[in-house]
Amino acid sequence: MEELVYEVPVWWIPSRMAILKGYAIAEKEAACPSCGSRSLRFIRRTVLEAQRLKWPHRVGGDEQVYSCDRCGRNVVVKLIYREPEPSEDVFSEFCQIYEAFLDSCSRGGAPNYITFSIRAANLLIDLKEHDEEAYAKALERVGKDLNTLRSEMGSDPKTHSVYRLMEYFVSKLPPEEFEQVSKQLEKSYVESLVELRNREGVPPSLQELVEYLTLLQQV
Ligand SMILES: [Zn+2]
């Protein structure tokens, strides 16, 4: 088995963000060491016990196993958790992971709506539980992005895919989060989203959104 090792800054334990960072890394940076393919398929993840003295927590990392779609070898992506550096902050970390998912979930023409929305909702849950300021900034960013994408709509297929991903996610957001995101959007657009939401129904919380989408994914 090939092994790729990355360090991940962690602000709290357990951290949904740290696990999601692994997926972001695997999809964005990791290539199969045998054949160079970037098409890695997730198989399983296991928790790594802390071994390094500098790390005060019992959980030391996350190990994710992927299978290379081209040559069939297994690739292990090992994430070693560490304390954040003074130059690192939670919101920037959120932005990096979220941007990686916008990219990976909009590849190849058909946007991966459900996967993106589950991941984005999990990122927001993590921020909401641990860092209210970063949570508010993240919602603002989501609203601003959707607003910008909407004005660029149709300029190229990639932008269009990303726009569709964002719109799907925002239309499914629970009332509290939707209200925050809506502040960045035009009133007439918010009204059309509200109409869609009333028709299809929305979950009362981010956790229930994740559960609902996970069920959809399994169908
Ligand atoms: Zn390979």
pLDDT digits (tens, 9 = 90+) for 160-186: 999 999 999 999 999 999 999 999 999
How close is the Cα of 96 to the center of ligand 1, in Å?
26
Residues 40-98: tens digit of each pLDDT: 888 999 988 887 656 777 888 989 999 999 999 998 999 999 889 999 999 999 999 99
Place of tokens 């190229």: 156
Q: How confident is the model at residue 110 (pLDDT cuts 50, 70, 90)?
A: confident
How close is the Cα of 31 to the center of ligand 1, in Å?
8
Query: What distance in Å separates the CA atoms of residue 80 and residue 73, rounded to the nearest whole number?
Result: 22
Q: Mean pLDDT score of the chain, rounded to an integer?
A: 92
Query: What distance in Å separates the CA atoms of residue 177 and residue 169, rounded to the nearest whole number?
Result: 11
Q: Kindly list the distances between the CA atom of residue 146 and the CA atoms of 45, 164, 173, 189, in Å, as whole numbers in the listed order.
A: 32, 9, 13, 11
How close is the Cα of 102 to the center of ligand 1, in Å?
24
Q: How confident is the model at residue 212 (pLDDT cuts 50, 70, 90)?
A: very high
Cβ atoms of 146 and 181 within 8 Å: the answer is: yes
How close is the Cα of 98 to the center of ligand 1, in Å?
26
CA torsion sign for 131, 56, 98, 94 is positive
Q: What is the mean pLDDT of residues 19-36?
A: 86
Highest mean pLDDT among 57-71, 105-119, 148-162, 200-214: 200-214
How close is the Cα of 120 to the center of ligand 1, in Å?
28
Sheet holding 40-49, edge to edge: 2-9, 74-82, 59-68, 40-49
Give the pLDDT score at 156: 86
Give the pLDDT score at 99: 96
Q: What is the mean pLDDT of residues 152-157?
A: 78
How close is the Cα of 74 to the center of ligand 1, in Å?
8
pLDDT at 20 over 90: yes
Of 43-52, 124-133, 193-202, give the lowest mean pLDDT range: 43-52
Reported residue count of the chain is 219
Side chain identity at 199, as an amino acid letter? Answer: R
b vs e for 24-55, b when ≥16 Cβ sit within 10 Å of the residue's Cβ? Answer: bbbbeebbbeeeeeeebeeeebeeeebeeeeb
Lookup: tokens for 58: 């019992």
How close is the Cα of 67 to the center of ligand 1, in Å?
8
Query: What distance in Å separates the CA atoms of residue 51 and residue 26, rounded to the nearest whole number?
Result: 23
Q: How confident is the model at residue 122 (pLDDT cuts 50, 70, 90)?
A: very high
Q: How confident is the model at residue 154 (pLDDT cuts 50, 70, 90)?
A: low
How close is the Cα of 27 to the center of ligand 1, in Å?
14
Give the pLDDT score at 54: 67
How close is the Cα of 162 to the center of ligand 1, in Å?
28
How close is the Cα of 75 to the center of ligand 1, in Å?
8
Q: Closest by alpha carbon to 79, among 66, 95, 92? A: 66
Give the pLDDT score at 169: 98
How close is the Cα of 73 to the center of ligand 1, in Å?
6
> What's the pTM?
0.90
